Chains A and B, each alone.
Chain A
């Protein structure tokens, strides 16, 4: 029996052609805006129990004892599990390094680490029982930053490391370190006529997806388990879950349930193994749902970073060299820190042509909350710093900041710091030109026709802090570069299964992939691809599950490229088979079958000149055509450990922003009035969807410019604001007009020429807003987010 809220087929038919390039609407859009869409937290199963996680109340401590006696005695409790109950020798998991215990053992390494699990017949019962578990902690000194991590005699967050980075890191509290050296930075520095050094701090951002971690595990008669789960990558989860459960992968059957946003925060496991363990132990379906408070502890965050930069330039405005040192705080567990390091290092210079670079990026192990993937993935922190530097160098040279950027902008053919040649369009200068060419919003835009102030258009908004007093406008620019797809030699592929058949005389394609729809619109785009390739109107998108091969993660701006590419390739194979069958069945009726280039259009096989040869329904008859393909993008190479050289990335994505802000310089409050974006997307498969991605990414970048930050106590390493009361994300009143200028310069290596677009706007949005605030205030502002006290010199001691 399927549980309530299990996903179903999404059938999509359009009146237009509904192919690529059209803004067809999401098949689940209406359900979502009317509140009828079933998210994973809405799932329900008869007889189900509720799981609850007991988490550590301290950041770093030895566990002397865990006593579950009282919890087990609570009526309604069906199971209480600790490390001792894990069924196999595999007790840890992790995306790249398996350093994360399923439940803490021996010690806890961060505030909120899972220690024990409870299953009960009511969520409140489970919560109360968990509160009766006694954990005896002996607190250890906390590692919170680079100094404490690498100090002589520092406690090791992970002792006895054997992972593949352990041998090359300078200290066991460093997860991974990647240098990138090209040209002779020292010699270039001698030539430089201006040198600008700066140190920058990037705060810890949360993905803040609205649907908290949740899922439903159902034990099966064969000893296996079904897991309905909101995730970004079913097969990556599967590979981590099955060994811990001691089950072969085919006995862990996973189905993607409704995902309420992700942004990287669902790349790591949260409650997946926990729910399965409880279900297998109790023999009952188990549902787990985090509340917002727990969600802040239930997923990794964006790495906070400290970045030190040196830029050199000649008087005529040419960069001579860049030196950079980027220290990312990976927190207590590795998560995707190594890959984030690779990105931060290889993209550290930004979209500029620089011959001499000397870069070092590293991620620390600390007792702070674990950090990992978030939209922009290492490139975000670097962009904030290098764009601040570009403005400062321009100012020192007396050059206009946009002009200085254009003088140094990379283009197709430019060599990256890794030595990789950029082999598709890189319209960096053009993107900047476009955002600058836009007319500015009118001055004093808050004034109404009657001469009053519309406070919603002013800093402070509804809080009524100014009617125009103290308000100064600022304008700032930024541009960024993001890689698309998995890098550094990772075998990045996706699987698509497509079937075409005639149903009641209508040709229908069914697309089955394991792609996680997390809101990005893959379910829309796959149908568009099938329509374009197969010339049909009706497409069924099946739920994503593990009955089909891996689609890779919904991350790295890669799904339209890679799973879209797989769907396209599968459709092409179907088309060939359709034509072959057509030739077999009808070839003798018309000579064009043998000679002409044939197309599938409007449900028919047609010649190039549009002459119809047969209907698809007739060609198909009552026999479906089905195929499954695995599709890969061009391979990438690992980066050299010492020099960082290598063709590490498959594609680059560029966006530029112009921010217009009004700052109340007396109160330090900011209203972002407009964030204009220009982005090259190669080919917009669905322009409406791409616009949504650009506006969403822009807004997420705005968030970390002016408000979003997880505050971690520097003494206790405990999270201080795990709630939406004190972790603020932009409301609609904080979200400016975001005009979007989309370029479509094809990348000949990519399906349809498309360029992954979901992340690039998150990069440049933040530094553009910061630049605009600097423009308004004249302040240096070397950290983000910027808070009112930073703008008013009242941060205290």
Chain B
């Protein structure tokens, strides 16, 4: 195994172009586990640790540009207001030690359905900045996950940053594990209210081959909120709306039975989390004294 240590982003892109099989490594919290357990033996490992800009973030008017290597601990600490859903998800990632090393770029690169960041990114709305020597493109997060541990990156592309919509309303993230901390998701659910666009977005983790949005549930809820005029009136979401939203969210799942839990439980738990996160976010929205102005 050869170890590549590009000193700059340009060098990294060149190295990736020269060795498309090279596995990029930043925090190493996924990659090193795979290597230590001999699950994977890449010919080239490319250390991105010398590229400082990957650990920077920038808060813009509408989006946050989050460097691929910004550790979860920083997100929890500094971006709770701008990215509340992702900050909540970050808090559920592994242990403090891992949160000091791991970042969203690694979650996206691995593209495991159990990655904690995915549901929050899907709910908030995000674009992945994928770059190669050929140029740069932005992949909408909805189109990024292409299969179990597969993503839309071309072999010569690296993730430079993620552009995540700044929260314009309440967001929640909820994850089921069989332990009260430091646990891999049995399943997870994220929900974000977007009052500006009068829409709700969701994200489901660990309940299908890829992370995904609960599309039919979103459509139903968006229509129901619209019909009832709830965005304006800020009245409570009725239990029947919440229930149907939850059922539709569960119906979007396509889970498996595995050591972490049975498919039937995953579907059930996603429904419960969908209902609860909707209630929490909507109640938070209602509690805002006046409509937010930006």
Contacts and interface: CB of A to CB of B under 8 A. Distances in A.
Given A293-B37, A796-B263, A464 B180 contact: no
Interface of A: 127, 291, 293, 456, 459-467, 469-470, 666-669, 671, 706-707, 711, 720-721, 723, 725-726, 728, 730-734, 787-789, 792, 794-796
A796 B262 CA distance: 6
Contacts of A462: 91-92, 180-181
A734 B179 CA distance: 7
Contacts of A127: 38
B174 interface: yes
Contacts of B177: 460, 463
Residue among B172, B178, B269, B276 with most chain A CB within 10 A: B178
Contacts of B280: 467
B259 interface: yes
27 contacts: A291-B36, A459-B180, A460-B174, A462-B91, A462-B181, A463-B177, A463-B181, A464-B173, A464-B174, A464-B175, A465-B272, A466-B276, A469-B279, A667-B176, A668-B265, A726-B260, A728-B179, A728-B183, A730-B179, A732-B181, A733-B181, A788-B178, A789-B262, A794-B267, A795-B262, A795-B265, A796-B264
B189 to A, nearest CB: 9
B7 interface: no
B184 interface: yes
A675 B18 CA distance: 59
Contacts of A723: 37
Given A667-B272, A734-B179, A794-B264, A464 B184 contact: no
Interface of B is mostly: mixed
Contacts of A467: 276, 280
Given A456-B180, A794-B264, 19 more contacts: A127-B38, A293-B37, A461-B179, A462-B92, A462-B180, A466-B276, A467-B276, A467-B280, A469-B276, A667-B176, A711-B259, A720-B259, A723-B37, A725-B184, A731-B179, A734-B179, A789-B261, A789-B264, A792-B269
Contact of A460 (B180, B259, B268): B180
B49 to A, nearest CB: 22
B241 interface: no
Interface of A is mostly: loop
A464 B172 contact: yes
A723 B179 CA distance: 15
B257 interface: yes
Contacts of B276: 465-467, 469
A442 B273 CA distance: 27
A460 B92 CA distance: 10
B88 interface: yes
Given A463-B177, A728-B178, A787-B178, A667 B184 contact: no
A792 B262 CA distance: 12
Question: Which 5 pairs show the lowest CB-CB distances between chains A and B?
Answer: A461-B180, A794-B265, A796-B262, A789-B265, A733-B181
Interface in B9-43: 36-38
Contacts of B176: 460, 463, 465, 667, 669, 788
Contact of B262 (A667, A726, A794): A794
A313 B291 CA distance: 67
Nearest to A789: B265
A671 B280 CA distance: 21
Contacts of B224: none
Contacts of B267: 794
B143 interface: no
A456 B276 CA distance: 17
Contacts of A720: 259
Interface in B76-125: 88, 91-92
A666 B179 contact: no
A728 B180 CA distance: 11
B223 interface: no
Nearest to A668: B265
A788 B180 contact: no
B180 A792 contact: no
B272 A666 contact: yes
A639 B181 CA distance: 46
Nearest to B178: A707
A385 B105 CA distance: 49
Nearest to A735: B180
Nearest to A724: B182
B186 interface: yes
A794 B186 CA distance: 13
B266 to A, nearest CB: 8
Residue among A463, A666, A725 with most chain B CB within 10 A: A463
B95 to A, nearest CB: 8
Contacts of A728: 178-179, 183
Interface string B238-271: 0000000000000000000101111111011100
A328 B224 CA distance: 56
A573 B186 CA distance: 61
A469 B261 CA distance: 22
Residue among A127, A456, A460, A461 with most chain B CB within 10 A: A460
Contacts of B263: 796
Nearest to A721: B259
Given A711-B259, A789-B262, A463 B175 contact: yes
A339 B94 CA distance: 40
Contacts of B36: 291
Nearest to A734: B180
Given A668-B265, A796-B265, A463 B178 contact: no
